[in-house]
Structure 1
């Protein structure tokens, strides 16, 4: 469907934005600490740790299109996407806590299996919320600029969540007093409750019952797995702007996911301070909180797609400059990280504001009722990028000779990493992400939807 609401209330904007406290937290904290938890606390080999995270994320890619299509079916049958979102918000904190509750002393293989199963269930619960959440802007707001406003404030909360969980997660872990089990358990307990709470509040922004004349027709609503996947493929086939936007966003998720997963390693083995990860996130998100609304101004002046391209180029240059850490590690790195943070705000807010434009454009051309399907494919693409980022990092670590240790073995050995592994960490935080960002500009150049096309649809 296309939004019938012509002007957004502050309450709607605020309640929708609060959901990003949950989505930002879940996207940040596992990406930041999960691989590190596996390699440096549970003693799982780097390549195996990457496999655990990647396979769990592949499951997400499999189920997201199904959840999207079922969300459309729920909307057609019941007039609301809310029940699915509430279920995901309630289930996620339980499974998130279990992910970081591996008993101390568990051998590497059963520990990896434990984390894999628990994280897979956590990711499933997250998708139940995230997929319909992504579909809502096309139903809550009409018009090119109204959606920019809605998504801008969502990204303000998202950037705050990245700071809160990126800096606060390791700080909570440190309260374990050197006991890894206690530290990670406390971190997961507090973070899980905050993530689930933000998601639950935002679930109620979904209308409880839309008017019958605004609902998509029940006839032809998707009911089988085959038709669920066919709908997702159809969305890609029918919408050229969606294909271009999704591929650009997927590639950028790969780059940022790689840097996110590498932040702990940079802090520990390049800057030689585990506490430095907190300062990295402060440097990243502090500027983003200030700059995010300015990207909305940029979008109104030059268009979302041009603003998105500008933000991407700025991020790529900042990332590339950090290759100097190989030769001169030091506090200077916080400056390019701050520039990357300002650019990252635009790389999040602008494509998210472009997605509901794409959905409405498709609804006008091909008929309403596919917002959830678009949301499912978008979430699958985003998940794929973030998961592959962690995977590429672990491959680089394995190729450069990174030595995985359990917490007790590391304490006993007191040794560092080979110089080649340290160089691999830096490359994974600089040159490789910058190259991926450059590649994302190719599909972005093929995005042809403009403000006139969108407002003409409305």
Structure 2
């Protein structure tokens, strides 16, 4: 093992945090909108706002969480204490999210809004310190990609388990207790992920960390002025919007377009499972052509797969699932590469200036990702509203043809367009291995 390499225990332990982030990032986007529209009877437009607004709060909170973790002096580590405290709080609040009253509709909606706001707050103080850690665990350009390979592989498994099993639990338990069972199941996954990351990174000292001076506003201005960061963040946020929109549509496509509620699990598995196999392949591709070129290739595959889903959606579950497999292959790379590029941006800044703003960088990054993922269900709800979707309390309402068309387009061509659009800002990103190496040498 070279000095730049991290022990396998640390790679695996750090990656376990993705069980928490993957579960929370997936299940609300997959089931919260259907829970509101087809269990609580909330109108689609209002339901979209209830999903969006707590996440919009995170956009404001994440940079603050990053700044607080940057200034941490806890003896157990700069970021680690946030993992266990915020992770446990998130697990409890997630159980409460689906455990509220089911009527009257206004009371149920208020419960969901407040519980989801609490979840979003706890998630900010888990996610931002967690994502900040790679820039400090190693200064090596290639080792960060290895670290992200573990993270994305475990993330894919967490998304697969949480997103694939949750609809099955809901359907098996029944409408009265099904969503409550989902809340308990996912809350347990979140707790396991938080504990795993906290324990797995125990005793690891940061490779570099000097907290930056100045106020939060001053640090935000510096980060906003970083061209490479702006380009990467904009591209990743658009990708998050694309995947968030697709995720929100899975349950609707299964029930309304394919006529099989059980198909939601099949579609979800087809979307996520490829990442378990192809993430190491994307790592090797990135080593040959670079992280940026890998990101471009993955995005184009994602978009192509979404277009194929549209072309094949009339042929049934098998055809749609096959096309979604291509989406999943692209999704794996579109997650791994930008996650590996973010620590490079923050580290180059720290090595050139002698001050660490990684928490602020990560806070702004997570805010952009959160906004994209939150806008996904909101945009999809808007598409449903424009299509005349009919809400109900049993999910059995007959839908007009315009609603079926809206469900299909929101799941296919709209995400494909967003994935391609993300490549435009990425053109200005300039950091590569040579830039990271030069910055490291300059710092020495």
Into which bin does the TM-score normalised by the smaller protein fall? over 0.9
User: Secondary structure of the equivalent of 1:169?
Assistant: helix
- Out of 20, 27, 30, the residue aligned to residue 28 of structure 2 is 30
Residue 232 of structure 1 and its aligned partner are, at CA, apart by 2.6
The C-alpha deviation readout for 1:266-295, integer Å capped at 9, x for no partner, is 011011111101101221222221101000
1:22-421 alignment runs, 5 A limit: 22-75=20-73, 80-104=78-102, 106-176=103-173, 178=174, 180-206=175-201, 210=205, 214-216=208-210, 220=213, 227-237=215-225, 239-324=226-311, 327-407=314-394, 410=395, 414-421=396-403
Distance 1:139 1:46 in 2: 43
Distance 2:186 2:76 in 1: 32
Q: Which runs of 4+ in 1 moved over 4 A?
A: 75-79, 205-211, 325-330
Contact 1:89-1:197 at 8 Å conserved across structures: no
Distance 1:209 1:13 in 2: 11
Distance 1:35 1:229 in 2: 35
Structure 1 residues 291, 299: closer, same or farther in 2, change over 3 A?
A: same
Contact 2:141-2:433 at 8 Å conserved across structures: yes
Residue 204 of structure 1 and its aligned partner are, at CA, apart by 3.5
Unaligned stretches of 5+ in structure 2? none
Aligned twin of 1:17: 15
The C-alpha deviation readout for 1:254-274, integer Å capped at 9, x for no partner, is 010000011010011011111
Residue 76 of structure 1 and its aligned partner are, at CA, apart by 8.6
The C-alpha deviation readout for 1:414-446, integer Å capped at 9, x for no partner, is 542111001001100111111111110001111
Distance 1:288 1:437 in 2: 17
Residue 173 of structure 1 and its aligned partner are, at CA, apart by 1.2
Alignment size in residue pairs:
439
Distance 1:169 1:202 in 2: 23
Distance 1:184 1:122 in 2: 16
Residue 208 of structure 1 and its aligned partner are, at CA, apart by 5.7
| TM-score, length basis structure 1 | 0.92
Unaligned stretches of 5+ in structure 1? none
| TM-score, length basis structure 2 | 0.95
Distance 2:348 2:211 in 1: 18
Distance 1:146 1:165 in 2: 28
Distance 1:150 1:326 in 2: 37
Instruction: Please provide the CA RMSD for this pair.
Output: 1.9
Distance 2:239 2:253 in 1: 20
